[in-house]
Structure 1
Amino acid sequence: MMSCLEGVQYKMTIGFVDVKLAAESDNNYSIAKNLTRLGRFSKNAIDHSNPEACLSMPSIGRTTIFYLTKLMSDGLYLMMELATLAMPSSLSNLTQYHIQLDDVVKVLTIFEQHCKVVSHDELEVLTTRKRPISSD
């Protein structure tokens, strides 16, 4: 969980990280279950902490995928993939980061633009759009 700290208290949750071993990369059920869980965490963070959007990062082995969850319309929470980064396996592959630097900058820019507290006027609109999660 990633949260903003204001003084000594947590202000709001802005993201979630889920890390799995590389052995889990072939288990599609586990991957889908964890992605659904991250989506629910992000939806709850948007509903309770009132950020404009929430960042989710499932990491399986050396691959990390960045998702942004945002409340788009009445009860419609959109979870979109921003980028996929493959971490280098050794020091000799460290130059791989240079190739992926554009994706890192893109994720950071989107994070700064969207994962922030909404204004008071926007909060009133967002409050009417929020919907509870089904109990199934």
Structure 2
Amino acid sequence: MLEKAKYPVVDLKTGVLPHQVKKWCKLLEAETPELGKWQNFLYSVQEKLMENSLPFIEIKNRITTALGMDSISNHQCSKHTDELTLKFERELNMELLAYLYTDYTRASNKGTPKVIGNLYRGINNPYKIRSPIHWILLGYWLFPDELTT
């Protein structure tokens, strides 16, 4: 399972390379079935990408269409993404969400994570590039078999 630096990099301008990290901490003490399933999915996607990346090039567009984000107006976007996020949370295991997003690990439940809204906010701004892991997670949620077979 993945590890993180005890003192993680928060500013990429002053970041360090992995071999410069003095102390590593495990993100998880033991693998659980849900996280093992996610890990296997990632390995499978990685293998497929090494074979042929063409089917994955259009993943953002396919996800956007599947979520109905391509036909939503700006003033409807927030309500629509909030509804999608609730569905996303119901259908994905909370353990996986807590593993991937710090918003789901807060004990206070203060505020509402807006995973999908944050992903689509400012998507056309070249400075707001989202990590591919967000798109892979949405693919895992929407059509996992298609990405791994």
Same fold, judged at TM 0.5 (above): no
More helix by share: 2
Larger RCO, structures 1/2 (Cα 8 Å, 6+ apart): 2
Q: Which has the higher strand share?
A: 1
Task: Output the TM-score relative to the length of structure 2.
Answer: 0.30
